[in-house]
Amino acid sequence: MLFRLRVILLLVLVLGALFSLRQPAHAIPAFARKYSLPCSACHEAWPKLNDFGIAFRDRGYQLGNEKDSPIWQNPSYWPITMRITPQWHRESSSNQVVDTVPGNPALGQTFQNATTHGFDFGGVDIWAAGTLYKDISFSLLPSSDSSGSFHFENAFVRFDNLFRTRWVNVKFGKFELDNLVSEKRMLFLSNNGGFYQVYHYTPFREAQFRASGPSIVQFGDAFGIGDNQLGVELSGHSENSYTRYSVALLSSNEGNPGLPNRTYDGWASFNQGFQVGKLGVQRLGGFAYFGQRPTFFNTSLGSPVLGQGLGSKSFYRAGLTGLFYIKKLDFSTVFVHGWDNVFLGTGTAANASLPVGARGPSWNGGFVETHFTYSPQLVFVQRNEIVRMSRQVFSADPRDLGDVDAFSFGLRYYPFMSSRAGLALHTEYSFVRSYKSASPLPTSTSPFGPDLRASSVFVGLDFAF
Amino acid sequence: MKHSRMRAHLAGILALLLAGGGPATFAQETHIGGLTGEASRGKQLYRRYCVGCHGPLGDGRGENAVWIDPKPRNFVTGTFKCRSTPTGALPTDEDLYMSVTRGFVNSNMPSWLPLTEQQRVDLVAYVKTFSSSFREEKPAAPVPVPSESAANQQSIQRGSELFQKMNCWACHGKEGRGDGPSAQTLVDNRGYPIPPYDFSGGTRFKCGESNQDLYRILMTGLDGTPMPSYASGLTPAQAWDLVHYLRTLQINAKHKRPTADSEQKHRSESKPVGEELEGRANRF
């Protein structure tokens, strides 16, 4: 009995000693921790990258030192980051069609402002990224909406520095189109401000046709250069990443897995940075996306056979980008010209006849986004954006039909800066005016209504660990 | 009344002078190439990029230091590994600039090349404020690097004999694999174990990449580490012989070894990051 007690005591002592000897765990589960760098090393203000961060990303999430391959990490290191944004927000939209007397549609309809507000959160990003081996990097980003339904925002493997040159890197999978101004890394989060209008614009008539068309799949989803696409990318960069290029071959399916379309789209972008004395790096770039979408499908007993699109028609987006730094002040600028083939613009199958007088719509848009980075922990942000139709589908349509004015401002405050996790207090106001884009009253004879004004107020916590 | 007014004036002027003189450390400037670095601007950058490792006081005790091996440099002592100046002397501004630009591949210290030249010069100006030595000591003259002798078989043979004679092998091992008899016992000036460089791995040196850099490493030593300076033990001709021999030990070096005449070409080649940051930083 006494012997047994002594054995147990000894065991306890030995185990205790073992545990107290254990090295502090290096296994803190996040990608950024790998290199012991603070968020501010790679991010101007996270998630927006700075010059060092751009170079890090271009090298395939590598610093080019001996810690790059995961073989040098503690085996329990797991390159995962989560990002969640609990918030209070207020959304308001003008000119919503509602019944004059709730519950009694027979008594007629009227326009009303619709406002809602309350506590909320915007879903979860579970982001794993890093290297599989020296010069082989990856990213996998399952992202959920607030109801918990997931999609894969990106999923790719990239072979870095092929042929021992940094000018040849090949990415394969679903990824963001490489552009100087990344929508994924913007400093706006609200419903109205949290995306770039020009990266997703669809002319009013086109959206209208699509909504009333026979089937949304027939015309493919709305296209956005801000949307991640499926394909293969060839890219390269100079050593400091001031010179960068990317060309990509993409499936014509708007990044939707499981929907091959038998045609391909193309993307190209190039940008160049210049050191301007004490101001910082100024970058200028250009990009072009050329794509096509089927306008009708092979059918079986009348229903479309997925993946067997026919009568593809084309569209393109081309633009200029710039990042300008004046010390703590910087400007992200984008100009986009867009054009859709008339069949896409009117949602007409290529083997059917077009509406009389219809033309392929085209438009110009752009924005200036200003950041004042007071310190790595406090940044003020502001954006002015416009989209102007240059050619309406029908010449009789008002010139400004579907034009957009958007404006946002806010601030992000990071109470601490460390190499382990990030937290930002985010406040934002944003406003969007879409010309003549409200639904008309059922009694109206006009196909379009008054202007739609929508605004968001956002106060929240954005955290990643 | 009048007097006290004057006194107040004087006090005010004095205060102004003091205020002007107080942050003299921040007014410290650095000149590299045509650029003037200012510590006040460097401070902002330091807070953003460097503080997590080198610490707010520059003593190498940032919040990440515990996780890192080798440890971040303590700037307060004014002891630096990579210098063009003799052992025991302070590095030149250019030396510090090169270290910041190049990074140390076999440590956590990244290459800060993506920052603008101006930013790197500003950072150097700020790094220098942590040690009073930079204010008190006169900058030393760089160790001269005479032109390289012919890298022929005889030179390599002589170098191999010097490797024996100078006891390099005691630390670096007979074949330069970093496994000499004393290798296990070596510690740096802060008492942390430090392995001798393993030539067979072929990774870039901490203090450069070219033959000129290698020559300089032998003649200046890496201060704060057991790697001594051989300025008094080797003639320039002998040092070049050693350089030529050491190159033959880098059996796994992935990059083409630059020689004096291939150097220029080498700089313009495009190769993956990490093996060739040296050189291009000099381009202004």
Contacts of A32 in chain B (CB under 8 A): none
**Domain boundaries, position A398:** 2-464
> According to the model, what pLDDT value does residue A4 have?
52
Could you tell me the residue ranges of all domains in chain B?
Answer: 23-142, 153-248
> What would the DSSP string read from start to end of B148-210?
PPP--HHHHHHHHHHHHHTTHHHHH-TTSSS--TTGGG-B-TTS-B-PPP-GGG-PPBTTBSS
Question: Quick one: closest CA in A to B269, which residue?
Answer: A165
CA distance B256 to B263: 10
Hey, which CATH number is domain B153-248, 3.30.70.270, 3.20.20.20, 3.40.50.2300, 1.10.760.10? Answer: 1.10.760.10
The neighbour count for residue A444, using CB atoms within 10 Å, is 13
Per-residue pLDDT of A284-295, as tens digits, reads: 999 999 999 888
> Any residues with CB less than 8 A from the CB of B6 and at least 6 apart, and which?
none
Percent with pLDDT over 70 in chain B: 80
Helix B236-249 with B153-165: angle, nearest 10 deg: 100
**Rama region for B68: left / alpha / beta (φ>0; ψ in -120 to 50; rest):** beta
User: In Å, how far is B284's CA from the nearest CA of chain A?
Assistant: 12
As to burial, measured by CB atoms within 10 angstroms (0-12 exposed, 13-18 middle, 19+ buried), residue A308 is middle
CA distance A67 to A161: 16
Question: Quick one: closest CA in B to A53, which residue?
Answer: B114
> According to the model, what pLDDT value does residue B52 have?
93
Between A21 and B90, whose confidence is greater?
B90
* Residue A239 to residue B67, Cβ atoms within 8 A: no
Instruction: Name the E strands within A259-403.
Output: 264-276, 280-293, 296-300, 303-310, 313-326, 329-340, 362-375, 378-391
- Residue B273 at interface with chain A, using a CB cutoff of 8 Å: yes
User: In Å, how far is B115's CA from the nearest CA of chain A?
Assistant: 6
Q: Per DSSP, what are the bridge partners of residue A98? A: A110
Does B25 score more than 50 pLDDT?
Answer: no
pLDDT tier at A261, thresholds 50, 70, 90:
confident
User: In Å, how far is B239's CA from the nearest CA of chain A?
Assistant: 28
Does B122 score more than 80 pLDDT?
Answer: yes
> According to the model, what pLDDT value does residue B5 have?
52
Does B270 score more than 80 pLDDT?
Answer: no
Structure tokens at B51: 């503080």
Secondary structure, 3-state, A314-329: EEEEEEEEEEEEECCE
Calculate the average pLDDT of chain A. Answer: 88
> According to the model, what pLDDT value does residue B255 have?
52
> Any residues with CB less than 8 A from the CB of A447 and at least 6 apart, and which?
A208, A440
The pTM of this model reads: 0.87
> According to the model, what pLDDT value does residue B259 have?
40
As to burial, measured by CB atoms within 10 angstroms (0-12 exposed, 13-18 middle, 19+ buried), residue A355 is middle
Among A92-96, A364-368, B219-223, B257-261, name the one with the lowest average pLDDT: B257-261
Eight-state DSSP code of residue B35: E
Three-state DSSP class for residue A459 = strand
pLDDT tier at B7, thresholds 50, 70, 90:
low
Among A178-187, A346-355, B5-14, B132-141, name the one with the lowest average pLDDT: B5-14
> According to the model, what pLDDT value does residue A17 have?
37
Per-residue pLDDT of A97-138, as tens digits, reads: 999 999 999 999 999 999 999 999 888 888 888 899 999 999
Q: In CATH, what number is assigned to the domain containing residue A397?
A: 2.40.160.10
Asked if B49 and B113 touch (Cβ cutoff 8 Å), the reply is no
> According to the model, what pLDDT value does residue B260 have?
37
User: In Å, how far is B265's CA from the nearest CA of chain A?
Assistant: 16
Percent with pLDDT over 70 in chain A: 91
Among A3-17, A90-104, A216-230, A322-336, name the one with the lowest average pLDDT: A3-17
Best probe of the B interface among A33, A66, A133, A325, by most B CBs < 10 A, is A66
Asked if B199 and B227 touch (Cβ cutoff 8 Å), the reply is no
- Residue B7 at interface with chain A, using a CB cutoff of 8 Å: no
Asked if A430 and A443 touch (Cβ cutoff 8 Å), the reply is no
Three-state DSSP class for residue A358 = coil
Per-residue pLDDT of A182-226, as tens digits, reads: 999 999 999 999 999 999 999 999 988 887 766 544 455 578 999
Per-residue pLDDT of A378-415, as tens digits, reads: 999 999 999 999 999 999 999 999 999 999 999 999 99
Residue B157 φ then ψ, to 5° = -60, -45
Percent with pLDDT over 90 in chain A: 65
Amino acid in the structure at residue B164: Q
- Residue B1 at interface with chain A, using a CB cutoff of 8 Å: no
Q: Specify whether domain B23-142 bears CATH 1.10.10.
A: no
Structure tokens at B227: 């790697």
> According to the model, what pLDDT value does residue A310 have?
87
CA distance A179 to B205: 36
Question: Quick one: closest CA in B to A327, which residue?
Answer: B41
A/B interface, count of CB pairs below 8 Å? 105
Query: Would the CATH topology of B23-142 be identical to that of B153-248?
Result: yes
A169-181 in b/e form (b: 16+ CB < 10 A) is bebebbbbbbbbb
Q: Per DSSP, what are the bridge partners of residue A117? A: A90
Give the pLDDT mean for B230-250.
95
Does A53 score more than 90 pLDDT?
Answer: yes
Give the best-scoring range by mean pLDDT among A54-58, A251-255, A295-299. A54-58
Three-state DSSP class for residue A398 = coil
> Any residues with CB less than 8 A from the CB of B71 and at least 6 apart, and which?
B60, B65, B190, B192
CA distance A240 to A53: 11
**CA nearest to A206, candidates A434, A359, A316, A97:** A359
Question: Quick one: closest CA in A to B113, which residue?
Answer: A240
Among A138-147, A257-266, B189-198, name the one with the lowest average pLDDT: A257-266
Question: Quick one: closest CA in A to B278, which residue?
Answer: A239
Per-residue pLDDT of B154-183, as tens digits, reads: 999 999 999 999 999 999 999 999 999 999
Structure tokens at A275: 């050191």
- Residue B63 at interface with chain A, using a CB cutoff of 8 Å: yes
Best probe of the B interface among A278, A282, A323, by most B CBs < 10 A, is A278
Give the total residue count for chain B. Answer: 284
Per the structure, the count of domains in chain A is: 1
Per-residue pLDDT of A439-460, as tens digits, reads: 889 888 888 899 999 999 999 9
User: In Å, how far is B280's CA from the nearest CA of chain A?
Assistant: 10
